Structure 1
């Protein structure tokens, strides 16, 4: 894939926001945290980018073409603010209503547009990004592009201008369609660009938005479906997408400790673990935060769709490529032969969680610190002991 890893001391020149790279498939990965291993993910593809510099911090299958679902709406919103007037009036005419009915599916998430109503483009943007209204996406496409198809053409042209060469749009909403796809890298580029726009960043960071009833339209109480906003420290924007099964896609903006990161996961069934692991690693901050704990104090919207996050426990692990185990609580992995000794001699109860990476020394010795003890193994004799 043309990936190369540089030491953390490397510096990355800031990439201009609106400048496409010379070779988009050549990445230099500059991890911010070298005291912890990069986390494995359950997602098919994942990406972590420094918002300020454009530097790639993490990449896993970054150019793989996958359904992008409702993260599509970030591009729809971008074109709306670039080509539209937020105060312009959009009326749901009979023709537009027919267009909406033609281009949404029976299970679509909706803003709730009705024929004869009139909204501002700003209202439509809130209806697009918070409840992920597919009807709002079609209305914006017609209003801003002049026609549905012309707007889709504008989306593809803007993608090329931004260097999103592994993205192709067939609609403004994200409905599954042949030829409608993106990649983790491209969604990070789009996330960086859209979240640098003050208007879009503000809308995407709004948890609840009230549109009062007027003579022109009904009242709306909009709740942001980006659940990461409701529980993870510093989360301040982005857009999720979900097809109602196990395929979850998300673009997340997060600001902490004077750093701004953009994270992407595609095709995952455990979005909170994947994105939390990436963000914790990117910020080098592994203080435990769980949607399960937060949900008990302040309910997270749509928590019931995910079983109220009861699966999220400090003891959860992810498999690693070298037959090891990644502990999400402390952000460290344990691998054979240390893992074998760990499991046979009491595991977490006796040793606690890993609190350091393996340390290799002369004489074929490897050791790793845990909360309650250190395990040392002789790689030649395959003998291990507790220190």
Structure 2
């Protein structure tokens, strides 16, 4: 009996101890989680939240899944077609910082000559604040546009960017503000709808903003200017000393363009870096591989992830999409044949999606009879275009529709003319009736007056 009691007491003691241990463990778990949450800094939280932001193209059915990024906005665009291969908040307003300077370069190249003089006025150097990127140009310095663009794009010299805008504007018979107007107008001409540029260098201004899509469109246009790529592929550059300027030496800042750097990317052919405390890290990078040219833009990137994000996005674009010629694939009864000049009639077809899955929109070319532009898209995203000769049946039906439309238009015009004539006649009749009634009233008044006199 004594042994049984002692056994029972021991068992009960063990049970109480086990239960207490479990309760302590469960009670400790939330405290551990809370402690971990408390350890996350505001910067780490912002970085994590940016990484968890949705990627819009990843929501498309069958579309290849693109990588998450530590940037709040990002895009990969194919140069030839303008096809958007990757999209993350591509129309959100963001501060561009110094990648603004690629638009400055585009407008300068389109409105000036590399041999033109660039003069540094008081305005082009007086605005600089401590810490602003600069190569130390002084008021009165005179260099060539070629040298100024090297300083602008390689060293990210803010005074050089200002002087470029001011001098190109002045050489065109205008001023710095005119150059800014050209920047904004040019962006809109390229299809940019969410940008406003208030300066040529990208220093912070609440009214100076852009979006990933607009910057990619600007980068795409720069492929028409080989001189831009000559400049941005330069690793080391020196502006020689002259009677009007002292020597200035500077280097490439875009690490993906520097062989031997840990961030070097063998397919990168151009680009521009950017950073301000308001914009965070920004980057535009042009790359080419196996005949495919891409523009990648990442904005508001948290932490030191700007280059790894860009590399992942470019690898994604090169690995998951291929050029597919429209000729041989297009079977619409409205199309006779694809006009493929220099291989420009193609789409960027994602893996897992076939040509027949694409939507095609046909727009007849009013300036070229019997021809049209075909635009291909997938779930609202344009993936390419091609010129085509229209089929005889389409031309016949379209001509008949045009004739019918003109007849209806003429009928409407004729009916409109008849209606207008009827309205005019009716109005004239009403006026005559009013005139007649007023005249009768006046006669009656005269008769009454004569009777009263009698």
Alpha-carbon separation, structure 1, partners of 2:118 and 2:199: 19
1:282 pairs with 2:317 = yes
1:158-188 deviations in Å (ceiling 9; x for gaps): 1111111111011110011011100011111
Name the structure 2 match of 1:48.
Answer: 76
Alpha-carbon separation, structure 2, partners of 1:42 and 1:213: 43
Alpha-carbon separation, structure 2, partners of 1:200 and 1:212: 21
Q: Relative to total residues, which structure has the larger helix share, 1 or 2?
A: 2
Alpha-carbon separation, structure 2, partners of 1:132 and 1:90: 16
1:120 pairs with 2:158 = no
Displacement of 1:277:
0.9
Contact kept, 8 Å, 2:95 with 2:279, in 1: the verdict is no
RMSD: 2.1
Name the structure 1 match of 2:384.
Answer: none
Contact kept, 8 Å, 1:103 with 1:138, in 2: the verdict is no
1:228 to 256, 259, 263: 256
Alpha-carbon separation, structure 1, partners of 2:246 and 2:289: 38
Name the structure 2 match of 1:167.
Answer: 195
Name the structure 1 match of 2:220.
Answer: 192
1:178 to 185, 188, 206: 206
Q: Could you say what secondary structure the match of 1:160 adopts?
A: helix
For normalisation by structure 1, the TM-score amounts to 0.62
Corresponding pairs, count: 254
Alpha-carbon separation, structure 1, partners of 2:233 and 2:223: 10
Name the structure 1 match of 2:177.
Answer: 149
1:237-287 deviations in Å (ceiling 9; x for gaps): 0111011588100100111222211101001131022111101111129xx
For normalisation by structure 2, the TM-score amounts to 0.53
Contact kept, 8 Å, 1:47 with 1:185, in 2: the verdict is yes
Name the structure 2 match of 1:247.
Answer: 280
Alpha-carbon separation, structure 2, partners of 1:196 and 1:248: 27
Displacement of 1:110:
1.0
**Per the alignment, do residues 276 and 138 of structure 1 end up closer, same or farther by CA in structure 2, a change over 3 Å counting?**
same
Name the structure 1 match of 2:383.
Answer: none
Alpha-carbon separation, structure 2, partners of 1:160 and 1:50: 19
Contact kept, 8 Å, 1:251 with 1:263, in 2: the verdict is yes
Q: Could you say what secondary structure the match of 2:76 adopts?
A: strand
Name the structure 2 match of 1:271.
Answer: 306
Displacement of 1:81:
0.8
Alpha-carbon separation, structure 2, partners of 1:6 and 1:66: 24
Q: Could you say what secondary structure the match of 2:118 adopts?
A: strand
Displacement of 1:202:
1.5
Which of structure 1's runs of 4+ aligned residues deviate more than 4 A? 3-8
**Per the alignment, do residues 182 and 246 of structure 1 end up closer, same or farther by CA in structure 2, a change over 3 Å counting?**
closer
Contact kept, 8 Å, 1:195 with 1:237, in 2: the verdict is no
Q: Which runs of 5+ in 1 are unaligned?
A: 9-30, 286-387
